[in-house]
């Protein structure tokens, strides 16, 4: 069956009843998504995601008041957003949200300390992460002079050669 | 080599070689890595993702890695689906937006996704049960990339990842097993429950959310923090042989108790695949699974396991459409699939593409 909005193959088939009348809708996944009608695709890591979600809720319950307002100065994500989405915003979040994350790590992994391969030391990464977030803010408020200055600074400090 | 050239080759991991390859289709390890000075992919701007892509591409050329890069953002949805079918990219990378890509080696052992959930998802696969070899390869690849990339890492939590379920080693160690014996003797659930008790995950051929498919199951670790890469590999190398033993026992039971029935099932499956004029993907998987087991039990002797392994991938929708060079509806695909199967299985032709 062909999508009613474009010529791709329809994979979303909906039947609606309105005032006793039956409407059928056949759409491809892309058009269905545009129309906000697509079923959520089965999330990757389904089991893990739900585990994480329930653990987050179970383990940070009493911290919510304090943690709710906590935001990462580098990427701007709030702990509450992590709680809802299950994904962190930047590497610094592990430090910023440490208190909220440790009980979760303990439950998911049965451990809170890394054992295994170590990365080589790369000084300056945090500084660059901060410069990048300042750059984003400068662009957002259309301060292009400041943005250009920050970009130059970033270029000087680049360690990815 | 272009993406279209891939229709004429197949990944090394389908060759059906290596230890225990009657049951272990392939061994696979992936490492999650992020660049220290960028936000994670879900928070990255378009410009930042483009920068990550270019840092990565510079790092592979600086390390003289012979990898072919595909800009996934500019690929059609058919081409993206084609890469998903080949296990080169995830559904997540295929379905997301913005600058992203994948670098692969010519034999498809290496596939490094860029701007997936983590900035880099490094994958190495080998046919058969060879996790230690896979680890040596991917560990060295990781070192070579790290020469020119600053990875997000802290000494107490290890490699930092977008989802806390991957933090630490960022490793997923897995094997893809063909378990038709355990499915047919209805013991598969028991095995899964036992694996889940020791914190191993079981998934289907196409990963996390998808259903097991052609009796293929991937078994992998879930824990990534608090155990070293070697320990996590050891868990798999300890447990998998037991699963292999159960599968062999199940097959033996089928042979001794239901030999005629089994032989009939395998022969009919082979017969249908060789002669059908139209066939669905589901039926193809089911029959290929019987044929694959039939070859390993000596009930079919004019067909190689490598050919059957390839056919699991090459009868998928996107592959068939790439081969035809046009988009096909379900009915047309079923006809194209049957025709492709007949041509590959005529006269017990051996595997192509080596």
Reply yes or no on whether the pLDDT at B66 is more than 60: yes
In this predicted structure, which of B52-56, B136-140, B189-193 has the lowest mean pLDDT?
A: B189-193
Q: pLDDT-based confidence at A130, cuts 50/70/90?
A: confident
In this predicted structure, which of A13-27, A129-143, B41-55 has the lowest mean pLDDT?
A: A13-27
Reply yes or no on whether the pLDDT at A35 is more than 70: no
Kindly state the tokens that stand for B56. 């990565």
A126 CA: distance to closest CA in chain B (Å): 6
Reply yes or no on whether the pLDDT at B223 is more than 60: yes
Q: Average pLDDT in the B259-281 region?
A: 96
The structure tokens 């608090």 sit at: B226
CA distance B351 to A58: 53
Q: By the CB < 8 Å criterion, does A140 face chain B?
A: no
Q: By the CB < 8 Å criterion, does A161 face chain B?
A: yes
Q: Which DSSP letter does residue B354 get?
A: -
CA distance B248 to B264: 20
Rg (CA), chain B: 21
C-alpha separations of B331 from B16, B44, B210 in Å: 31, 41, 23
pLDDT digits over B16-25, tens only?
999 999 999 9
Where on the phi/psi map is residue B199: left (φ > 0), alpha (ψ -120 to 50), or beta? left
Residues in A 26-45 with any Cβ partner in B closer than 8 A: 30, 41-45
CA distance B222 to B202: 10
Q: pLDDT-based confidence at B239, cuts 50/70/90?
A: very high
Is B175 in contact with B131 (CB distance < 8 Å)? Answer: yes
The answer, as to whether pTM is greater than 0.80, is yes
Q: Which residues contact B49 (CB under 8 A, 6 or more apart)?
A: B41, B98, B99, B100, B115
Contacts of B40 in chain A (CB under 8 A): 75, 87-91
pLDDT value of residue A153:
86
3-state SS assignment for residue A137: helix
Q: Which residue in B has a C-alpha nearest to residue A56's C-alpha?
A: B164
CA distance B64 to B148: 12
Q: Which residue in B has a C-alpha nearest to residue A119's C-alpha?
A: B153
CA distance B283 to B311: 13
Q: pLDDT-based confidence at A44, cuts 50/70/90?
A: very low
3-state SS assignment for residue B274: helix
Q: Average pLDDT in the A137-161 region?
A: 83
Reply yes or no on whether the pLDDT at B350 is more than 50: no
Q: By the CB < 8 Å criterion, does A75 face chain B?
A: yes
Q: B58: burial class by Cβ within 10 Å (0-12, 13-18, 19+)?
A: middle
pLDDT digits over B247-265, tens only?
999 999 999 999 999 999 9
3-state SS assignment for residue B315: coil
B140 CA: distance to closest CA in chain A (Å): 12
- Taking the CB of residue A61, how many other CB atoms lie within 10 A of it? 8
Question: How far apart are the two ends of chain A, measured CA to CA in Å?
Answer: 51
Q: Which of A53-57, B192-196, B318-322 has the highest mean pLDDT?
A: B318-322
A69 CA: distance to closest CA in chain B (Å): 19
ipTM at complex level: 0.88
Interface test mutation site (partner A, options B29, B31, B34, B37, max chain A beta carbons within 10 A): B37
* Residues paired with B153 in a beta bridge: B159
Q: Which DSSP letter does residue A2 get?
A: B
C-alpha separations of A76 from A49, B39, B157 in Å: 23, 10, 21
CA distance B16 to A93: 44
CB-nearest to B45 from A45, A110, A136 is A136
Q: Which DSSP letter does residue A35 get?
A: T
HSE-up of residue B150 (Cα within 13 Å, Cβ side)? 19
pLDDT value of residue B253:
95
pLDDT value of residue B112:
98
Is B29 in contact with B138 (CB distance < 8 Å)? Answer: yes
C-alpha separations of B122 from A67, B105, B133, B134 in Å: 34, 12, 15, 12
In this predicted structure, which of A29-38, B138-147, B261-270 has the lowest mean pLDDT?
A: A29-38
Q: By the CB < 8 Å criterion, does A85 face chain B?
A: yes
Q: Average pLDDT in the A116-144 region?
A: 84
Contacts of A118 in chain B (CB under 8 A): 153, 155, 158
pLDDT value of residue A27:
75
B19 CA: distance to closest CA in chain A (Å): 27
Question: According to DSSP H, which parts of chain B are helical?
Answer: 46-62, 77-85, 91-95, 131-146, 180-184, 188-197, 229-257, 259-275, 281-296, 305-314, 317-324, 330-345
φ, ψ for residue B265 (rounded to 5)? -60, -45
Reply yes or no on whether the pLDDT at A42 is more than 50: no
Is A160 in contact with B55 (CB distance < 8 Å)? Answer: yes
User: Does an H or E element contain B121, and which?
Assistant: strand B120-127
Question: How far apart are the two ends of chain B, measured CA to CA in Å?
Answer: 16
Q: Do the chains contact at B39 and A45, CB–CB below 8 Å?
A: no
What's chain B's average pLDDT? 93
Interface test mutation site (partner A, options B31, B33, B35, B36, max chain A beta carbons within 10 A): B36
Is A106 in contact with A88 (CB distance < 8 Å)? Answer: no
Q: Do the chains contact at A90 and B40, CB–CB below 8 Å?
A: yes
Residue from A161, A127, A95 nearest B150 by CA:
A161
The structure tokens 């680049």 sit at: A158
Residue from A32, A24, A39, A42 nearest A5 by CA:
A32
């Amino acid at each position: 069956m062909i999508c009613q909005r474009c010529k791709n193959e329809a994979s979303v088939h909906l039947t609606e009843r309105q005032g006793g009348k039956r409407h059928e809708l056949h759409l491809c996944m892309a058009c269905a998504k545009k129309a906000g009608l697509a079923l959520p695709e089965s999330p990757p890591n389904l089991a893990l995601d739900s585990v994480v979600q329930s653990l987050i809720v179970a383990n940070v319950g009493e911290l919510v008041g304090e943690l709710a307002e906590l935001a990462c100065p580098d990427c701007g994500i709030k702990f509450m957003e992590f709680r809802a989405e299950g994904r962190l915003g930047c590497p610094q979040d592990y430090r910023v949200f440490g208190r909220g994350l440790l009980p979760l790590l303990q439950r998911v992994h049965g451990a809170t300390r890394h054992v295994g391969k170590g990365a080589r030391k790369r000084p300056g990464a945090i500084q660059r992460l901060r410069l990048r977030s300042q750059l984003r803010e400068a662009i957002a408020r259309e301060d292009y002079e400041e943005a250009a200055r920050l970009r130059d600074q970033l270029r000087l400090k680049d360690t990815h050669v | 080599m272009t993406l279209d050239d891939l229709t004429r080759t197949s990944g090394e991991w389908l060759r059906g070689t290596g230890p225990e390859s009657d049951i272990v289709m392939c061994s696979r390890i992936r490492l999650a890595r992020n660049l220290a000075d960028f936000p994670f992919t879900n928070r990255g701007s378009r410009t930042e993702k483009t920068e990550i892509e270019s840092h990565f591409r510079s790092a592979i050329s600086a390390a003289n890695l012979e990898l072919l890069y595909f800009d996934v953002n500019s690929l059609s949805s058919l081409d993206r689906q084609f890469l998903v079918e080949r296990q080169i990219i995830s559904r997540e990378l295929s379905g997301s937006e913005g600058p992203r890509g994948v670098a692969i080696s010519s034999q498809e052992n290496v596939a490094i996704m860029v701007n997936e959930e983590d900035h880099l998802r490094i994958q190495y696969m080998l046919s058969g049960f060879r996790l230690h070899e896979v680890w040596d390869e991917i560990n060295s690849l990781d070192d070579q990339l790290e020469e020119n990339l600053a990875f997000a890492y802290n000494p107490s939590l290890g490699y930092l990842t977008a989802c806390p379920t991957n933090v630490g080693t960022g490793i997923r160690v897995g094997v893809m097993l063909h378990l038709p014996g355990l499915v047919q003797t209805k013991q598969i659930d028991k095995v899964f429950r036992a694996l889940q008790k020791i914190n191993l995950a079981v998934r289907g051929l196409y990963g996390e959310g998808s259903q097991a498919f052609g009796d293929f199951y991937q078994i992998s670790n879930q824990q990534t923090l608090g155990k070293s890469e070697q320990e996590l590999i050891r868990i798999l190398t300890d447990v998998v042989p037991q699963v292999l033993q159960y599968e062999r026992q199940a097959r033996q039971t089928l042979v001794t108790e239901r030999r005629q029935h089994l032989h009939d099932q395998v022969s009919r499956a082979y017969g249908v695949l060789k002669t059908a004029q139209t066939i669905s993907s589901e039926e193809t998987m089911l029959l290929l699974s019987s044929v694959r087991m039939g070859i390993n039990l000596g009930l079919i002797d004019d067909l190689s396991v490598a050919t059957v392994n390839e056919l699991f991938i090459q009868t998928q929708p996107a592959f068939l459409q790439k081969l035809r060079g046009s988009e096909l509806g379900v009915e047309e695909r079923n006809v194209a699939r049957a025709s492709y199967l007949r041509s590959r299985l005529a006269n017990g032709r051996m595997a192509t593409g080596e």
